[in-house]
Amino acid sequence: MAREDYEVVIGLEVHCELSTKTKIFCSCSAEFGGEPNTHCCPICMAMPGTLPVLNEKVVEYAVKAGLATNCTIEKNSKNDRKNYFYPDLPKSYQISQFDKPLCYDGYVNIETEDGEKRIRIERIHIEEDAGKLNHDEYGRGTFVDLNRAGVPLIEIVSKPDLRSAEEVEKYLRKLKSIFEDIEVSDCKMEQGSLRADVNVSVRKKGSKEFGTRTETKNMNSFRSIVREIEYEAERQIEELEAGNTITQETLRWDDISGRTFTMRDKEDAEDYRYFPEPDLVSIQVSDEYIENIRKSLPELPESRKKRYLSEYKLTEKAANFVVSSKYYSNLFEEATKICNNPKTVGNMIMSDVARILNEREEEPEDLKFTGKELGELVILIDKGTISSAIAKKVLQELFNEVKMPSEIIEEKGWVQISDEGAIKEVVVKILENNPQSIADYKAGKDKALGFLVGQAMKETKGKANPQLLNKLFLEELNK
């Protein structure tokens, strides 16, 4: 059978660090980083006799996340102990939620080529993060840093509804943009605030049953997640085609070699001996509490998209793209307010801004310039001060140093030449040097005009006003 005869099935367990000021069970700072073991106290270091106290903000943030992803909120939930040993987990258990997660039965929609697709969310529960192990590069050993121990997390478990790496990326970007909007997490993947365990299986198309899955832990970049899924699906198909079976196992992705390695197998045999956390009371939330949070939710990507379609007349494609990130949306709205040209702003974000970010391997949140600069840039195009070709160069400059575009074009001498006399001189010169093109044009080869305009653009380093150039060439050629 061929690759096309198989279908890839993916389900994600996404961990998202909440941006509360303090940790989930103590009053230590939950901020990222810091000198090792400076955000610690007897509770998060697991000293005997200490007791956890649940941070109310964690419940509030998790309920917000649940409502924003269409979940039902469990009004009577609780915490459970998940027992396992690891050196970054000083209690030898993680306080999580087992059979009564705070939120369940939700979904988010993603845009696919065949229209909107619903990805179901099985549950969202709260839990504590573990510490970090730092392996010393001089081989002196491994150091434990407990700053992260007890930082609050929500875990979002999807149903196995995803069918390609592309869908997975869209789903993750959707979650990220929702959580950024409701301000429950900074979602910085490179700092581990948003990371995913990726479950992949394959099955023959048309088959009703799922294949055996593998789970790759702690993936924290879109690029590696996409690569991992493509690699893993290919590997599983090859195994099946060779007549082998897939082992259910936990894998580790190696970005350098671009392949997965076995971390541990027989995942199902792992017994966490969950039991209700005896040191914490149950979590009771009232209807009123839930409704108050529901009312406080800000505009979410889906309604923002509707507004962009009606208010700004963006195309479906541009609207989808801009709402894919809160940072794009802010950039778009601020720039549009300044230049009143939503179409150009939307297109610039979708094509040029996205392309440059991609080249720099950066994400929308890494953008340093704002709508103030982008708005002015679009005004300069609209006024004819610069051509759109020069605008692309200005944009590139904005990624290196934030300055007003008018300053950049002044310094670089990029102002568009719109003086008819000056352009005419160029036109005459180019025509003198290209008699063949004139003959071609007269013989009906319209392409010759494009060539001549191109030469004139080269001569003026892209600064000539293209409409004027066209007009003057036509005038001369038709004389």
Nearer to ligand ADP, 148 or 213 (CB): 213
Site residue total, Zn ion (CB under 5 A): 5
Nearer to ligand ADP, 120 or 471 (CB): 120
Q: What is the largest CA-CA distance in the chain?
A: 97
Sole binder of ligand ADP in the list 77, 96, 97, 199 (CB under 6 A): 199
Q: How far is the CB of 220 from ligand ADP (least distance, A)?
A: 17
Q: How far is the CB of 73 from ligand ADP (least distance, A)?
A: 20
Q: Which does 11 bind (CB under 5 to 8 A by kind): ligand ADP, Zn ion, none?
A: ligand ADP
Q: How far is the CB of 300 from ligand ADP (least distance, A)?
A: 23
Q: Which does 177 bind (CB under 5 to 8 A by kind): ligand ADP, Zn ion, none?
A: none
**Which is it for the CA torsion 312, 316, 318, 323, positive or negative?**
positive
Nearer to ligand ADP, 9 or 300 (CB): 9
DSSP string, 214-259: EEEEEE--HHHHHHHHHHHHHHHHHHHHTT-----EEEEEETTTTE
Q: How far is the CB of 277 from Zn ion (least distance, A)?
A: 17
Count of other CB atoms within 10 angstroms of residue 383? 11
**In this chain, which stretch among 26-34, 49-57, 136-144, 346-354 interacts with Zn ion, using CB under 5 A?**
26-34
Count of other CB atoms within 10 angstroms of residue 57? 17
Q: Which does 159 bind (CB under 5 to 8 A by kind): Zn ion, ligand ADP, none?
A: ligand ADP
Q: Does 9 bind ligand ADP (CB under 6 A)?
A: yes
DSSP string, 12-61: EEEEEE---SB-SSSSSB--S--STT-S--TTTTT-TT------HHHHHH
Measured CA to CA, the distance from residue 229 to residue 10 in angstroms comes to 8
Measured CA to CA, the distance from residue 428 to residue 479 in angstroms comes to 13
Sole binder of ligand ADP in the list 201, 224, 336, 455 (CB under 6 A): 201
Count of other CB atoms within 10 angstroms of residue 47? 11
Measured CA to CA, the distance from residue 372 to residue 338 in angstroms comes to 7
8 A C-beta contact, residue 271 and residue 72: no
Cα-only R_g, the chain? 28
Give the pair of three-digit tokens for residue 110: 């993603």
Let me know the angle formed at the C-alpha of 24 by 19 and 26, rounded to the nearest 5 degrees: 120
Nearer to Zn ion, 41 or 290 (CB): 41
Nearer to Zn ion, 39 or 125 (CB): 39
Q: Does 213 bind ligand ADP (CB under 6 A)?
A: yes
Q: Which does 26 bind (CB under 5 to 8 A by kind): ligand ADP, Zn ion, none?
A: Zn ion
Q: Does 28 bind Zn ion (CB under 5 A)?
A: yes
**In this chain, which stretch among 153-161, 176-184, 420-428, 435-443 interacts with ligand ADP, using CB under 6 A?**
153-161
Site residue total, ligand ADP (CB under 6 A): 15
Nearer to ligand ADP, 199 or 329 (CB): 199
**In this chain, which stretch among 24-32, 105-113, 173-181, 462-470 interacts with Zn ion, using CB under 5 A?**
24-32
**In this chain, which stretch among 195-203, 228-236, 317-325, 405-413 interacts with ligand ADP, using CB under 6 A?**
195-203
Sole binder of ligand ADP in the list 22, 55, 158, 324 (CB under 6 A): 158
Question: Which residue is associated with the tokens 């810091």?
Answer: 34
Q: Does 12 bind ligand ADP (CB under 6 A)?
A: yes
Residues 6+ apart with CB under 8 A from 238: none
Sole binder of ligand ADP in the list 126, 157, 331, 367 (CB under 6 A): 157
Measured CA to CA, the distance from residue 119 to residue 240 in angstroms comes to 27
Q: Which does 28 bind (CB under 5 to 8 A by kind): Zn ion, ligand ADP, none?
A: Zn ion
Nearer to ligand ADP, 57 or 159 (CB): 159
- First-to-last CA distance in the chain? 67
Nearer to ligand ADP, 233 or 395 (CB): 233
- Residue 243 CA: distances (Å) to CA of 212, 380, 430: 14, 63, 68
Q: Which does 10 bind (CB under 5 to 8 A by kind): Zn ion, ligand ADP, none?
A: ligand ADP
8 A C-beta contact, residue 325 and residue 365: yes
Residues 6+ apart with CB under 8 A from 320: 111, 305
Helix (H) or strand (E) holding 422: helix 420-433
Let me know the angle formed at the C-alpha of 386 by 385 and 390, rounded to the nearest 5 degrees: 165
Q: Does 44 bind Zn ion (CB under 5 A)?
A: yes
Q: How far is the CB of 170 from ligand ADP (least distance, A)?
A: 16
Sole binder of Zn ion in the list 14, 26, 59, 456 (CB under 5 A): 26
In DSSP terms, 112 is beta-bridged to 115
Nearer to ligand ADP, 123 or 326 (CB): 123
Q: Does 210 bind ligand ADP (CB under 6 A)?
A: yes
8 A C-beta contact, residue 404 and residue 446: no
Residues 294-333 that bind ligand ADP (CB under 6 A): none
Binding site for ligand ADP (CB under 6 A): 9-13, 157-160, 199-201, 210-211, 213
Binding site for Zn ion (CB under 5 A): 26, 28, 41, 43-44
